[in-house]
Chains A and B, each alone.
Chain A
Amino acid sequence: MLMRPFLDLQLGERIITLLAALVLVLQIAVVAQRWIVTHIRIFAIQSFLLAMIAATIAWFNHAPHIYIAAALTLVVKVILVPVFLERLVVRMEIREEIKPIINVPLSVVISGGLTLLGYVVAESFYHPDEASLGHNELAVAISLFLIGFFTMINRRKALTQVLALLSLENGLFLAAISLTYGMPLIVELGILFDVLVAAMVLGILVYRIRETFESMDVSRLRRLRG
């Protein structure tokens, strides 16, 4: 009787670690690839995996409110935001590929280094005495956050920066479920609403910048100085 929940938790931990590893691989794949549409799809898959992680945690910890967070993530970040962004890409007829400042092999190496950094930071939160699912996941979450920052600096295309910003938020979502099994539901709701609105506001802004400058290269936005 005593062993069963323990085994369950161990199984849960394994599933979640596997999913989190996939999330991390996808984030590094973003750094390695060059097409905006691929980037959007990777973001959608990554969000889907996050929703799965949330659902797994809800299942093994008998915390029904996390299901709602998972379902909302599914609706907003797997369906609404990617569909909106893909339609934007079609409307703007973007064909050019993204030219990163640092080349791809070096970027991947840097992402590896950032992952390592994520693990070092996450170590300080580890309490071995507590039954917690959160150890690996927090490290992955911090790595997502850092790699998201790096992508933002490395790619100067407006839409890529929007996607990088959204992946920062994905990192935060993972951190939230691994540290505290999610924020209170109303907070989660507020955050997702903001993510949705932010994606739309930034999307419209990107569209208008593209129309005015005939480019999405944000390094051309340099009239305002001093």
Chain B
Amino acid sequence: MLLFALLLIPIATAGASYFARCREQLERINLAGFGLVTLIAIALAAQVLARGTVSLANGFFYADALSALVILLTALVAMVCATYSIGYLRDDEQSGELGDDDSGKEQLAQLRMYYTLTPLFVFSMMFLAVANNLGVMWAAIEATTLVSVFLVTFYGKVTSLEAAWKYAIIGGVGLSMALFGTLVAYYAGHRLAGSDALAGLNWSVLAQHAELLDKTSMRLAFVLILMGYGTKAGLAPMHTWKPDAYGEAPVPSAAILSSAMLNCALYGLIRFYILTSRCLGAEYPSRLLLLFGLLSMGISVPFILVQKNYRRLLAYHTIDHAGIMVTALGVGGPLGALGLTLHMTFHTIAKSLLFLCAGNVRQHFKTDLFSEIKGSVIRVMPLTGVIFLMAMLAIIGMPPFSLFQSEFIIMRAAFDGGHFVTGILFVLFGTGVFAGALLHVGGMILGPKGKMPSAPRRPWRDGSLLALAAALVLIGFWLPAPLLELIRGAAKVVSGQ
């Protein structure tokens, strides 16, 4: 039942938003919808902890600890972003970013589009996390792209059209490879009994009989899936759409794209990794994953060092972290898997927080460039400045923040597993990112007060920032026991124990 409600509520929210008549209604519908989704996600996590797995409709829907974790993180980010976007879009409306129609019709149409597409976007992410059938999961991942294209073109600028075009085409090509991979995986299992039925492509069935899958086909399938879902996760060299899309989308959408969407793309990859490593042994997928993971980390370093635009800087950071997570998957073993699921959780909180901070700065300073801000964010908007700097320190892996712990675990797993080159490169790239990001963001936030007036109070936006920042600080020292158990459970699913 919970799984059903999880899918139904975002759809209902989108439907209600489509027919809403004014801004207040849209805001309330979205808040209520995402609030409910969050509650259901928490209840689902509790149920998964109690029972192990939850399934519905003859196993068409299926959730284990990994799905529950991805769902929980998606719901939390969506909830915070729904709160934030109320303040954010009101500000945009006042400053004329949504059009300058005096009667307000144009603005309302824009708002309606945003508040309708966002629940649909969340719906497709939830759907892919609970779909047991790998083909259905593919369709849901494709749907996330299609829904979010018009979020990227939200402001209708020349550059946002360009970003959306790259996003749609590169994503489309990538996903067609993923579909090919899914197809080949289906073929790999076609000699199993009962593979003609719908269940023949069910992950839970394939995972049980993974040793019997055709080995040559699984090899090909994994490469295609890695290219396909890797494109969606923004792994190098298929990452080029990412800075554009994140830099052009409205900030709350960029926050969802860079945290929840990334998790979902990795989720698809992880499902196939589990099948492949059970079929062929862990070494084959692991080598490929390490290659792409380290390449992504490496490529992001120079771009972070020379970056001029802070939203694109965050996007390159996400590429770096996608690389870190894929490296963790490649390192494998119980420790690597634990590092992966911990990092997924911590990164989701820190990265969405960073994007929301960047949104505050952007709306006050009206620019995305470091060179035009020239320091002083901390004087003009103290709360945003402090949280921005703190989240930045967290994301580059400063202790005592939680990302240090997860990155340390991944590094330890790499050295324990004998991946010495990987471990050394991991530290090296980490240092590069550390230097680049701290230099830019430190320079932007600190410094004497310029001519900018102090920012007014912004209850919706600052409230959501504070909540996320509190969560970020808290998990650095103390993970609630059920959450830790869920993360451990997810890691066990990944490492296949």
Taking beta carbons and an 8 Å cutoff, which residues of A are in contact with B? Answer: 124-125, 145, 149, 152, 158, 161, 165, 168-169, 172, 175-176, 179-180, 183-187, 190-191, 193-194, 197-198, 201-202, 205, 208-209, 212-213, 218, 221-224, 226
Q: Which 3 A-B residue pairings sit nearest by Cβ, starting from the closest? A: A187-B135, A190-B139, A221-B162
Contact A194 B176 (CB under 8 A): no
Contact with A190, one of B135, B153, B169, B303 (Cβ below 8 angstroms): B135
Q: Does B168 reach chain A (CB closer than 8 Å)? A: yes
Contact B198 A169 (CB under 8 A): no
Chain A residue numbers with a CB within 8 Å of B180 are 145, 172, 175
Q: With A205-B165, A213-B158 given, is the CB distance from A184 to B135 under 8 Å?
A: yes
Contact B153 A208 (CB under 8 A): yes
Contact B176 A169 (CB under 8 A): yes
Contact with B133, one of A176, A184, A197 (Cβ below 8 angstroms): A184
Q: Does B216 reach chain A (CB closer than 8 Å)? A: yes
Chain A residue numbers with a CB within 8 Å of B15 are none
Contact B153 A191 (CB under 8 A): no
Interface size on B, residues (CB 8 A): 48
What separation, in Å, do the CA atoms of A180 and B176 have in the docked complex?
A: 18
Contact B161 A212 (CB under 8 A): yes
Q: With A180-B186, A184-B200 given, is the CB distance from A205 to B163 under 8 Å?
A: no
What separation, in Å, do the CA atoms of A180 and B247 have in the docked complex?
A: 42
Chain A residue numbers with a CB within 8 Å of B306 are 226
What separation, in Å, do the CA atoms of A197 and B117 have in the docked complex?
A: 14
Contact B173 A187 (CB under 8 A): no
Contact A186 B136 (CB under 8 A): yes
Contact B149 A125 (CB under 8 A): no
28 contacts between A and B (CB under 8 A): A125-B187, A145-B176, A149-B173, A158-B165, A165-B176, A168-B173, A172-B176, A172-B180, A175-B180, A180-B187, A184-B198, A186-B133, A187-B135, A187-B139, A190-B138, A197-B143, A197-B146, A198-B146, A201-B149, A202-B172, A205-B164, A208-B161, A209-B165, A218-B165, A223-B159, A223-B162, A224-B247, A224-B248
What separation, in Å, do the CA atoms of A149 and B153 have in the docked complex?
A: 26
What separation, in Å, do the CA atoms of A168 and B200 have in the docked complex?
A: 24
Contact with A224, one of B156, B184, B243 (Cβ below 8 angstroms): B243
Contact B162 A224 (CB under 8 A): yes
What separation, in Å, do the CA atoms of A61 and B190 have in the docked complex?
A: 16
What separation, in Å, do the CA atoms of A55 and B159 have in the docked complex?
A: 45
What separation, in Å, do the CA atoms of A198 and B171 have in the docked complex?
A: 11
